[in-house]
Amino acid sequence: MNIFRLAGDMTHMFSVLVLLLKIHTIKSCAGVSVKTQELYAIVFATRYLDIFTSFVSIYNTFMKLVFLGSSFSIVWYMRYHKAVHRTYDREQDTFRHWFLVLSCLLLALLIHEKFTFLEVLWTFSLYLEAVAILPQLVLLQRTRNIDNLTGQYIFLLGGYRGLYILNWIYRYFTEPHFVHWITWITGLVQTLLYADFFYYYFLSWKNNKKLN
Amino acid sequence: SSQSDSKDEL
């Protein structure tokens, strides 16, 4: 494991912890899209099915359990915790995320490395993760109110994706035969979505500064 | 071997 991968995983974990902290302590999920959170829960549930079939390391198994547990907890809080649910922007969070699920499933059935149950679901999870942030970005554009914690959550997620790309570049040059087109292309698409968002976030922040 | 070693990532 290289430093980029470790830093990426830690950034990813912090992003989820920031979100859980916000929801658990402030009892508010204002500005958070439950659709994006449901997509992440599906991503982890389908990608980590191999938790039962292949063991990599205690670190990997532990992190998989962290991501599964945290994503399902966040969905549970937003859907079923009364105080938290009251703060949910239901009218604004209208992205049809099941359309994304269906499209990614079809794509995984068409484009994969091996046509096996676990492999197709693993590929599906990569496609879905690439676009899972879309409902969250749409919600932010609609409400136009981004609090510090939600901003930090998205910023940390973007950082995690950027670090994973550095990790792949590092592995490509240090490990023979490390070539993973599907992982790389979906990872790149996902990172570009964040970069696009940050670009416009930065522009509006700069304009606000000017107004002041 | 190509896909298996990317599965050591999260």
Spatial contact of A122 and B7, defined as CB atoms under 8 Å apart: yes
Question: What is the distance, to the nearest Å, from the Cα of residue A127 to the centroid of all Cα atoms in its chain?
Answer: 11
Sorted by sequence, the CB contacts under 8 Å of residue A102 that are 6+ apart come out as none
- Over residues A76-135, the pLDDT tens digits come to 999 999 999 999 999 999 999 999 999 999 999 999 999 999 999 999 999 999 999 999
Percent of chain A having pLDDT more than 70?
98
Nearest to A85 by CA among A143, A28, A32, A142: A28
Residue B3 in this model has a pLDDT that exceeds 50: no
pLDDT of residue A210: 60
CB contact under 8 A, B10 and A64: yes
Please name the residues between 1 and 10 in chain B that touch chain A, using a CB distance below 8 Å. 1-3, 5-10
Residue A102 CA to residue A179 CA, distance in Å, equals: 27
Residue A64 CA to residue A48 CA, distance in Å, equals: 7
Which member of A5, A12, A50 has the closest CB to residue B7? A50
- Over residues A189-198, the pLDDT tens digits come to 999 999 998 8
| Length, in residues, of chain B | 10
pLDDT of residue A205: 77
Residues from chain B contacting residue A67 (CB–CB below 8 Å): 10
Nearest to A131 by CA among A192, A77, A201: A192
What does the pLDDT average to over B1-10?
69
Spatial contact of A164 and A55, defined as CB atoms under 8 Å apart: no
The amino acid at residue A21 is L
A7 phi, psi to nearest 5 deg: -60, -40
Count of CA atoms in the C-beta half-sphere (13 A) of A45: 8
Res. B2 pLDDT band, cuts 50 70 90? very low
- Over residues A134-175, the pLDDT tens digits come to 999 999 888 876 777 888 999 999 999 999 999 999 999 999
- Over residues A6-48, the pLDDT tens digits come to 999 999 999 999 999 999 999 999 999 999 999 999 999 999 9
pLDDT of residue A144: 77
Residue A113: DSSP 8-state: S
Question: What is the distance, to the nearest Å, from the Cα of residue A171 to the centroid of all Cα atoms in its chain?
Answer: 22
Residues from chain A contacting residue B5 (CB–CB below 8 Å): 175, 177-178
Residues from chain B contacting residue A122 (CB–CB below 8 Å): 7
